[in-house]
Amino acid sequence: MRTRPPPGQSPEPLEADIARILLHRDQIDRRVRALAADIAAVYSRDDIGLTLVPILSGAIIFLADLIRCLPLRMKIALVQISTYPGARTTPGDPQTVLALSGDVGGRHVLLVDDILDSGRTLRRVQALIRERRPRSLRTAVLLRKPARAPADVPVEFVGFDVEDQFVVGYGLDYNDLYRNYPHVGVLHPELMP
């Protein structure tokens, strides 16, 4: 077995670091379009105003594709939370990197995240948003790990349920790498501690 260089430092394409693809780009695209239709059906009946709050940095790819499919007037407010700093594959305590920006008070808010795993990040951000008294708060995630997702973290829109593995791609990272990988996959085990 050859020794692999540190992740992201190989001259080989990203595909060389991926052991297995769980979700192909075309599957993701179809599901994001379907989620957008479901979301639009909920919010198109109301003219209060919709604000999307993506949790940076993992949700940026999902958000970009999702909003292009939403035929609604919307605003975007940002928040950045770090749960997997550095080369970690197990979640730590969520740390606020960028406080919630934008006014969400009195508006319908759709919180957008890449994955529901331990629920720590979503629980924290949902509480931050509730403090600002939105008209409503719903949550959309691209991925959910049913084996780990806590029942006390409500999520109304789910792209895919996935197995309990550390995944990268489509915005999800390992050591801040692989966000640009167009599929969702699992890294070769030797690339992670």
**pLDDT exceeding 70 applies to what percent of the chain?**
84
Catalytic position from the list 117, 152, 161, 173: 117
Q: According to DSSP H, which parts of the chain are helical?
A: 25-43, 60-68, 120-131
Average pLDDT taken over every residue of the chain? 87
Residues 6+ apart with CB under 8 A from 86: 175
The predicted-structure confidence for 53-104, as pLDDT tens digits, reads as follows: 999 889 999 999 999 999 999 999 998 887 655 555 565 666 665 668 888 9
Tokens of 188: 């070769």
What pLDDT score was predicted for residue 66?
98
The contacts of residue 188 (CB under 8 Å, 6+ apart) are 4, 17, 18, 19
Would you kindly state where each structural domain of the chain is located, as residue ranges?
Answer: 21-83+92-176
Q: Which CATH architecture has domain 21-83+92-176?
A: 3-Layer(aba) Sandwich (3.40)
Told to judge if 117 belongs to the known catalytic residues of this protein, a careful annotator would answer yes
Per-residue model confidence (pLDDT) at position 14: 84
pTM of the prediction?
0.85
- Three-class secondary structure of residue 12 per DSSP: coil
Which amino acid is present at 15?
Answer: E
Mind listing the pLDDT tens digit for each residue in 125-154?
Answer: 999 999 999 999 999 999 999 999 998 999
pLDDT digits (tens, 9 = 90+) for 7-45: 555 546 788 999 999 999 999 999 999 999 999 999 987
| Backbone CA torsion sign across 139, 141, 146, 148 | negative
